[in-house]
Structure 1
Amino acid sequence: MNKNTITLVASLLVLGLSFNSCKDTNKKVDSATENGSSEEQMDKTVYASDVIPFFDDWKLILGDGSNAGIANNFENKDFFYTTNDGKDDWVVFKAPNGGDTHGTSNNTRTELAQIKKFYPETADDKLTATLKVMNVSSTGDARVAATHAVVVGQIHSADAFENEPLKIFYKKFPGHTKGSVFWHYEINTAGDDNAGRWDYSNAVWGNDFSVVGETADTYPAEPEDGIALGEEFSYEVVVKDGIMSLKFMSDGHETKTFTKNLLESEYTTKADIPEQTKKLFFPIGQDGVERKEAYTGEGLFFKLGTYNQTNGKSPDVNMNWCSGAETHGGDIQKQYEDGNYAEVWFKTASISVSDAAVSNEGYFTKND
């Protein structure tokens, strides 16, 4: 082999080694890049606004009474976050039995409140949701109608007495597999004193609000057509031209629809008051009548989330709303450990806001 041939072979060997070295280095870089991307993907937080992208229309009230504002790219591990059930992502709303509350309420909530309000006479507004209730309070006086219940959707007034023409409830007694879904209409009380206000309850699946225990720790019969914890159901709420229309849907259950006139009251005299109301509310002095025009002229707004109806206040104060449940002195983690909280997961939701809706900032200024 001559000198030139030897030199050529050596050069080719060096070039080959260099090429392989570059290839190995590139492999390491590619591998590191892939691993880094994988780790970043694993660490990436899935926010509620990634699951249900409608948070520009709401402010979020947390279970400690604070207003978190517009909750895009936001989470709070105690009250508001996302989870996956192995199939779908869900937005979790969680609220203890006892703690700081928002506004004048006795109850904690982790709940969205609409940043605009609409007037029923000019409204064309809509709210939909698909959800499952995962927990209601494990303690509370069974004679109290609100015990073991949570509100998962509302229409609230921003004006006057701030009453509620709609509250959608889920309620399940301990030891039962199935609970009840029902909705309430609260009268917009006539006169200057709201102390006489009351709710009328309509059953959707299972019982209405009025079915309670005979004693503090005994329970009525389990509803045959009820909804279990973890079972999906949906609601649709439309307010248009003064009429509130409701639709409730769940696989394996009959679809239920209701309508209610928000501009003209059914309850303007004592004779109009339903027997259910007389049984529940008259004994505690809540026996008012509604103003003839109902909610005409009042700004209304949607709410969605977990409004825990079980609290630690004594039933001696109010046998419909004060549950006497365990609150561990407001210690949230202790309440979470032994089931003294409400938790609701939402898979989908939507809101449609009419052009006639206006700012609801006055409500937040008053209540925050």
Structure 2
Amino acid sequence: MNKKIITSLSTSLILSVFLILSSCSNTAKKSNQKEAQKTVYASDVIPFFDHWKLILGDGSNVGKPINFEHKDFFYTANDGKSNWVVYKAPNAGSTHGSSNNTRTELAQTKKWYPETANDKLTATLKVMNVSTTGDARVAASYAVVIGQIHSADGFENEPLKIFYKKFPSHTKGSIFWDYEINTAGDDNAGRWDYSTAVWGYDLSVVGTSENTYPEEPKDGIALGEELTYEIVVKEGIMSLKFTSEGHETKTFTKNLIASEYTTIANMPEQTQKLFVPIGQDGVERENAYTGEGCFFKLGCYNQTNGKSPEVNKNWCSGAETHGGDIQKQYEDGNYAEVWFKTGSIFVSDAAVSNEGYFTENDFYKK
């Protein structure tokens, strides 16, 4: 065969092989790029979402949030070390059920009864933002609830709310937990919370004027600082454990089936100071939460809202809401944001469906 023809064929063959390899390389690069751009969902970070339904900051219930994200309220982020699940809620917007406050929060799909319970929730998180406006005299201003136990029955009261609160001029905020009485009688208007400090202050520490704050807590928690809580309810007793690097580990217990607040004489001094002046002066039923189905909640339940403190000086913050415009609230810090890194839940065999709670509370939004 002619040498020129052989050379030409060899060149063509080499060129073909090069094009094939180049094509394969480009395909691999595109594939890798697609893989790199693949959405990391919350359910990839913490694989326990079969146990929850997700309420968003617009009041909607999206059900089990598996392979789900919403860039305004619920998505993932990476801090350079770990992936986190982000929960975000503005000061104002549509709310779920009868609440005055927005939330992006998980609610357990099953409920359990305290007297027969053997249920557990753990979470590791960091609070990234609380509202920058509010009335410092209002107990709930600049606060977010990061974990709860909620009753699905009766008055639907809350035997546990875990708060983070930080005043605007402070670097460190407080972690505290509240127990809400399960009010005796048919009128729940007299219900009140009793608050216990973990690190920093409890709910009752407020400012002396709208923009005057108490001294910064020396043992507080800063925004972006990790902490872990553990909640166990077993045979009527709630046990709590709080840990954070550089802070003393704190543990607490509370009986959920036998009340210590059945008479006015047993009302704590804190309650007399904070709630009695606004007419919330009830007593608790003797068996507390016995016989009521309870369930865990986890996420970002913003406690700061735009309602006038004249309505309720403990729960109505008078904060900036921009008429409910979510993006404007996000732009100037009028929102709550909490990141969760890990979480686990143990549900006892005695737990039953909690669908009735969702049916009732999904019916209306405020």
Instruction: Identify whether the pair has TM-score above 0.5, normalized to the shorter chain.
Output: yes
* Larger CA deviation: 22-31 vs 328-337: 22-31
1:219 aligned onto 2:213: yes
1:310 aligned onto 2:285: no
* Larger CA deviation: 30-39 vs 89-98: 30-39
**What SS class does the counterpart of residue 351 from structure 1 fall into?**
strand
1:168 aligned onto 2:162: yes
Cα distance in 1 for partners of 2:66, 2:33 equals: 23
Hey, which bits of structure 1, 4+ residues long, moved more than 2 A?
8-19
User: Which residue identity lines up with residue 295 of structure 1 in the other structure?
Assistant: Y
In the superposition, the TM-score normalised over structure 2's length comes to 0.97
Cα distance in 1 for partners of 2:289, 2:128 equals: 33
Paired position in structure 2 for 1:62: 56
Render the CA deviation track for 1:341-361: whole Å, top value 9, x for unaligned.
Answer: 000000111111111100000
Render the CA deviation track for 1:47-82: whole Å, top value 9, x for unaligned.
Answer: 111111111100000000010111001000110011
**What SS class does the counterpart of residue 44 from structure 2 fall into?**
helix
Paired position in structure 2 for 1:96: 90
Cα distance in 2 for partners of 1:95, 1:198 equals: 24
Cα distance in 2 for partners of 1:260, 1:53 equals: 30
Cα distance in 2 for partners of 1:314, 1:194 equals: 22
Question: Gaps spanning 5+ residues in structure 2: where?
Answer: none
* Larger CA deviation: 33-42 vs 189-198: 33-42
**What SS class does the counterpart of residue 160 from structure 1 fall into?**
coil
Alignment counterpart, residue 20 of structure 1, candidates 8, 11, 14: 14
Alignment counterpart, residue 125 of structure 1, candidates 92, 97, 119: 119
Aligned-residue sequence identity (percent) comes to 76
Paired position in structure 2 for 1:200: 194
1:252 aligned onto 2:267: no
Alignment of 1:1-368 (within 5 A): 7=1, 9=3, 12-368=6-362
Name which one, 1 or 2, has greater alpha-carbon Rg: 1
User: Which residue identity lines up with residue 225 of structure 1 in the other structure?
Assistant: D
Cα distance in 2 for partners of 1:230, 1:350 equals: 21
Paired position in structure 2 for 1:3: none
Cα distance in 1 for partners of 2:46, 2:26 equals: 34
Kindly tell me the number of residue pairs found equivalent between the two proteins: 362
Query: Once the 2 structures are TM-superposed, how far is the Cα of residue 18 of structure 1 from its aligned partner?
Result: 4.0
In the superposition, the TM-score normalised over structure 1's length comes to 0.97
Render the CA deviation track for 1:153-192: whole Å, top value 9, x for unaligned.
Answer: 0000000000000000000001100000000000000000
Question: Gaps spanning 5+ residues in structure 1: where?
Answer: 1-6
